[in-house]
Amino acid sequence: MPGLMVHGSGIYKTIDDGALLMKAAAVQVGEFPIPETMKAWVLDDPGQLRLTDKPVPQPGSAEVLIRIDAVAFCAGDISIITKGQPALVEGGLPFNKNFTPGHEYVGTIVKLGSGVDEYAIGDRVVVEVHAGCGRCERCRSGMYTACLNYGMNYEGHNKGHRANGFTTDGGFAEYVINHVNTLVHVPEGMSDEEATLIVTAGTAMYGLDTLGGLIAGESLVVTGPGGIGLMVVAVAKALGADPVILIGTRDNRLELGTKLGADHVINVKKENAIEAVKRITGGKGVQYAVECSGNPDGLNDAMDMVKRGGRICLIGFPPGRTTIELGKLIRNHLSVFGIRGEGKSATHRAAALMAQKRFDARLIHTHTFKMEELPTAFQYSRDKIDNAIKVVVKIH
| Nearest partner of 170 among 91, 110, 107, 114, judged by Cα | 107
Greatest mean pLDDT among 174-183, 210-219, 337-346 lies in 174-183
pLDDT at 215: 76
Distance CA 94, CA 55 (A): 19
Q: Are 165 and 129 in contact (CB under 8 A)?
A: yes
What is the reported pLDDT for 191?
97
Evaluate if residue 27 carries a pLDDT over 80.
no
| Residue 4 or 349, more confident | 349
**Which residue type is seen at 91?**
G
So where are the chain's domains? 10-129+164-186+360-394, 203-338
Q: Above pLDDT 70, what percent of the chain? A: 92
DSSP string covering 345-386, please? THHHHHHHHHHTTSS-GGGGEEEEEEGGGHHHHHHHHHHTGG
pLDDT band of residue 344 (cuts 50, 70, 90) is confident
Percentages (nearest 5) of helix, strand, coil residues in the chain: 30, 25, 40
Banded model confidence at residue 1, pLDDT cuts 50, 70, 90:
very low
* Cα-only R_g, the chain: 21
Mean pLDDT of 123-142: 94
Tell me the C-alpha distance between 30 and 71, whole Å: 23
pLDDT band at 261 (very low <50, low <70, confident <90, very high): very high
Give the confidence band of 81 by pLDDT, cuts at 50, 70, 90: very high
CATH of domain 10-129+164-186+360-394: 3.90.180.10
Q: Average pLDDT of the chain? A: 91
CB 304 within 8 A of CB 274: yes
pLDDT of residue 15 exceeding 80: no
- Give the residue-averaged pLDDT of 266-290: 97
Residue 4: is its pLDDT beyond 50?
A: no
Q: What is the arrangement of strands in the sheet containing 335-338, beginning at the earlier edge strand?
A: 264-267, 244-248, 220-223, 286-291, 306-314, 335-338
Closest C-alpha among 277, 276, 244 to residue 260: 244
Question: What is the arithmetic mean of pLDDT over 108-137?
Answer: 96
Residue 55, Cβ neighbours under 10 Å: how many?
11
> Is 7 a residue whose pLDDT tops 50?
no
pLDDT band, residue 216 (cuts 50/70/90): confident
**Residue 265 pLDDT exceeds 50:** yes
- Give CA–CA dist 71/198, Å, rounded: 12
The stretch 91-105 carries a mean pLDDT of 97
What confidence category does residue 201 fall into, taking pLDDT thresholds of 50, 70 and 90?
Answer: very high
pTM above 0.85, yes or no: yes
Average pLDDT rounded to a whole number, residues 127-147: 93
Residue 93 one-letter amino acid: L
Nearest alpha-carbon partner for 147 in 351, 340, 309: 340
Quick one: pLDDT at residue 212?
Answer: 87
Asked whether residue 14 carries a pLDDT value surpassing 80, the answer given is no
Whether 113 shows a pLDDT value over 80: the answer reads yes
- What is the average pLDDT across 339-362? 92
Q: Label residues 304-314 b or e (16+ Cβ within 10 Å = b).
A: bbbbeebbbbb
The reported pLDDT for the residue numbered 319 is: 83
Q: What is the pLDDT of residues 301-325, one digit of tens each?
A: 999 999 999 999 999 988 888 999 9
How confident is residue 256, by pLDDT bands cut at 50, 70 and 90?
Answer: very high
Give residue 26's pLDDT. 39
Give the model's pLDDT for residue 21: 44
Predicted pLDDT at 142: 87
For the segment 217-242, what is each residue's pLDDT rounded down to a tens digit?
Answer: 999 999 999 999 999 999 999 999 99
CATH 3.30.479.30 fits 203-338, yes or no: no
